[in-house]
């Protein structure tokens, strides 16, 4: 008999990991955080110099936080993703965000078959919509792009619909790329005070949310026919 894992226990363990990583990040970035809270032209170069002193250790901390937070239902890793872009610039920030989000989804998908989900989860309206699509690969890839759709629901749908592993890896990689990019470049825009870029990124997020509503309406309409 296959041993089942409690999703509550897994969430508790993941939350403890996030808290531990958060404590380490705050400890390592405390001087930078203080400067960011009191940012001005005079201390800008000092802030840049401090950030450039951080190496692979802190990148790994942020990567782990992003991956684990991505795996926890209802927990958003957007602030950490923005912080990665703010501290490491758009390219390194994108790399941290992208690989972190991919890892989180891969980890959840690998555990799906061993987790004992609640009845409430199994009857989630988004879960029903995702698994009722006529074009599941497109729908699920787009669903990964939309922040308001819990990724655990998308991962469960992929596993339940027996999406081939190679296709699943491609879907996750493409799906999490846009949001990872927006958060990384958004963090860099905050650091450089480029508010026009922030407005553009905010509009893109709003469009993605509207897209999620459109997906839901299309599925409802198809069921009604």
pLDDT at 108: 92
At residue 143, the 3 state secondary structure works out as: helix
Look up the pTM and report it. Answer: 0.82
Given a contact cutoff of 8 angstroms between Cβ atoms, the answer to whether 65 and 25 are in contact is yes
Query: Using CA atoms, how far apart are residues 197 and 180, in angstroms rounded to an integer?
Result: 15
What is the model's pLDDT at position 221?
57
The pLDDT score that the predictor gives to residue 4 is 65
Q: What pLDDT, on a 0 to 100 scale, did the predictor assign at position 1?
A: 44
Any residues with CB less than 8 A from the CB of 3 and at least 6 apart, and which? 114
The low-confidence residues of the chain, meaning pLDDT below 70, are 1-5, 39-41, 212-213, 215-225
């Amino acid at each position: 008999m296959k041993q089942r894992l409690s999703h509550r226990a897994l969430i508790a363990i993941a939350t403890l990991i996030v808290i531990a990583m958060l404590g380490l990040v705050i400890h390592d970035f405390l001087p930078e955080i203080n400067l960011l809270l009191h940012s001005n032209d005079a201390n800008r170069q000092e802030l840049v110099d401090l950030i450039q002193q951080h190496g692979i250790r802190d990148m790994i901390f942020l990567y782990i936080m992003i991956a684990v937070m991505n795996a926890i239902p209802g927990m958003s890793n957007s602030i950490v993703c923005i912080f990665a872009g703010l501290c490491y610039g758009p390219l390194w920030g994108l790399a941290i965000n992208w690989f972190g989000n991919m890892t989180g989804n891969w980890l959840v998908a690998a555990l799906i078959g061993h987790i004992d989900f609640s009845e409430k989860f199994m009857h989630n309206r988004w879960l029903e919509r995702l698994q009722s699509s006529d074009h599941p690969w497109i729908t699920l890839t787009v669903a990964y792009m939309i922040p308001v759709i819990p990724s655990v629901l998308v991962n469960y749908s992929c596993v339940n619909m027996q999406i081939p592993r190679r296709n699943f890896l491609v879907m996750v990689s493409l799906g999490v790329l846009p949001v990872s990019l927006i958060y990384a470049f958004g963090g860099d825009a905050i650091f450089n005070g480029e508010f026009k870029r922030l407005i553009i990124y905010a509009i893109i997020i709003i469009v993605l949310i509207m897209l999620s509503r459109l997906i839901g309406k299309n599925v409802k309409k198809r069921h009604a026919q």
